[in-house]
Each structure stands twice: as structure tokens, then as C-alpha cells.
Amino acid sequence: MKRNKKQLDNQVIATFIRQLGLVLDSDLPINSGLEVIRTKADHPKLISIIQVLQDDIKEGYSLSESIKKFEDELTPFVVNMIELGEKSGSLSGVMNQIADAIEKEIEIREKVRSALAYPVILSLLMLGVIILLVVKVMPTFNEILNSLGGEMPAFTQGMMNFSEFIGQNIIVIVSVVVALIAAYLWYRNTEKGAFRIDKLKFSMPIQKDIIAALMGAKFSRNLSILLKSGFSFSIALEMLKPVMNNLYMTSLIDNAIERLKEGESLADVIANFNIFPGVMIRLFSVAQQTGHMDKMLEKVALEMEKEADSKLESIATVLEPLLIIILSILVGVILVSVILPIINILNAIG
């Protein structure tokens, strides 16, 4: 199963669901409320979706019947939860739960981006400085050295040869890099490639623990909402598959559903995933023993978020000074390899 490319951005979905919940809590008729949302919306696809909902409701369809047309855009999870909320008579409450879960996911994603922004910028700066030194500065020093009649040490000569190679083949090098990036993007968009890349996320050093904690938080929070709404474990897990947005997780959930049907406990099934932190597995086991799975899952989600935050802070704390040290060493090696021969010649002249 490939990722859904039609799905609206999570922020767009969360805002729409939140606004729809407010409409349902108010005294406005549903169609009038949708009209208010539509006039305020700035996303073309969302505007067209709301228009269809309005037209269907005018013809006598319920909100859940109409919104089923947009499973791809709003996710099956949202559509099924709306249907359940409508049947149970607590649609506005369900809307708020959905919006809370999506907004929490957005908040976590922003934390990850914020924590990694500085190291990424510093890495790009480091790469830019090295390229500038190799392509521009070193050839200049090479000309100076040749004009003085100096003889370069082997290391310096090797650096100069490398600099010349980069300068002469820069277009080819850039073309190869672009081709590799394009090949990666193509591979990632295939079902096989997406599955392998998603699986790799759980085994790569440094990031694997963060990914596991973030996935654990998303899994626990959304499973809690579904169980509170009255879904069985098997149906809840089935509805979680598109929410996780990870093909490897989807395969694990498929396996878990089969094992649940064979009579295994949810805690044992989750433990068999072999990707979630140990504390999450233990909390699942306690929750099942006490019979308060839905409430405990909220605590599990919070615990996983704290763990992810802690690991992100630790990585950022170590990574930033480490990158600065690496940059300093590389720049220093390059400059020393060029300047030392010139100093030796000047000393000889003096």
C-alpha cells in the first residue's frame, strides 16, 4: 500500500475539524456553519470539499454519509470517527478529540524540526566553507606558491590536486549528486522503496530511538481515542494504519490484527513489534491488567513525548559543539597545508 498523495496537510485537516466542532457546539445549522468555514478557508481543495458537503446535506444526506467521499483527503481515521460520533450523538466531542490528536502531532513535528534546524544549518555552512576553500582559496595559494618557486610537501600537493579535480569537474559532481537525489526520491515513491526506508528509520543509529518514541506517542494517543469511542482492538488497529503514515508500521499492525484474532493479548502483540521502548510495553501490560487501557494510553503517549524531547535535546546538545569542532579542524587542516609552504619560502628568502 502506497502513501496517500491526495491527503490534505495535517494543519488544514486539524483546523477544519476544529472549526466543524465549534459549529456543532453552536446553534448554527450545519449548512450555515459550513458556509462560514468555507468563506474563511484559503485552501482550494478544502473549499471544494466543503462545497460538496453543503450540496449533499441540502439533498438530505448526513455529514458522515457525505464525508465518506473524502477518505483520501481527510484520512479514513477522521471519516470513520465522524461516522461513529454521529451515531453516538457526541460528534462535537469526537471532533475535538480528533483535532487535539492532530494538533499534538503537528506540535511534536515542529519540535523535531526546531531541534534539528541549527545542526542542519551548521552542516550546510560547514560544507559551503570547505567547498569555498577547496575551489577558490586553495588554487589562489597554489598560484602564489608557484610564483615564489616553492616546492610543496606531498600532503599539500595532494590537497592541491584534489582542489583542481573539484574545480575542473564541478558540473559533473553536481550532476551526479542531483541524479542520486532524484533516484532516491523516485525509489522512495515506490511501494518497495517506501517500505524499506520506513523500516530503516527504526534501525539507523541516533534517530531510531527518537522515531520509536514519536511513533509510540502517535500510536498510543490515537488508539486511546478509538478505544474510548467503543471500537474493538482489531478494528481500532485497522483504523490506525493510515494514521501512522509508515508502511513498515502498517505491516506490523496487519500482523498484530491476525494475532489478536488468534487470541493473543494486545500487550503481547505490541511487544512483538520490537520497535517501541521498553517502558511503553510495560505500561501497556499494566493497562491491560488493570482494565483501564484507554486512560493509560494517554499517559503512555505523554511519556513517549517526554522521552522523544529528552533524546532530541541530548542529541542537539552534543551535535552542535561537535560540528563546530569538526568544521574548525577541517578548515585548519586545509589552511595549514597551504600556508606552511609559503611561510617556509618566505623564511628562506629572509
Number of Cβ within 10 Å of residue 78's Cβ equals 28
Task: Look at the block and give the residue holding cell 600556508.
Answer: 339
Q: Identify the pLDDT of residue 323.
A: 79
Is residue 63 helix, strand or coil?
Answer: helix
Cα-based angle 209, 215, 218 (whole degrees, multiple of 5): 145
Q: How many CB atoms lie within 10 A of CB 166?
A: 16
Cβ neighbours of residue 204 closer than 8 Å, sequence gap 6 or more: none
Residue segments in the chain with a per-residue pLDDT below the cut of 50: 1-2
> For position 232, what pLDDT does the model report?
82
**Domain boundaries, given as residue ranges, for the chain:** 10-101, 114-350
Q: DSSP class of residue 62? A: -
What digits encode the pLDDT tens for the residues 236-288? 888 888 788 889 999 999 998 998 888 888 778 888 888 888 888 888 888 77
Q: Write down the pLDDT at residue 153.
A: 66
pLDDT in tens, 165-176: 877 888 898 899
- HSE (CB half, 13 Å, CA atoms) of 83? 16
Quick one: pLDDT at residue 348?
59
* Residue indicated by cell numbers 475535538: 96
In the chain, count H helices and then E strands.
17, 0
Give the three-state DSSP class for 151: coil
Q: What residues contact 44, with CB distance under 8 A and at least 6 apart? A: none
Q: Report pLDDT digits (tens) over 131-159.
A: 777 777 777 776 776 776 666 667 767 77
Looking at residue 1, what is its pLDDT?
Answer: 46
Tell me how far apart the alpha carbons of residues 188 and 174 are, in angstroms, rounded to a whole number. 21
Domain at 10-101, CATH homologous superfamily: Type II secretion system (T2SS), domain F (1.20.81.30)
Contact 38, 51 (CB under 8 A): yes
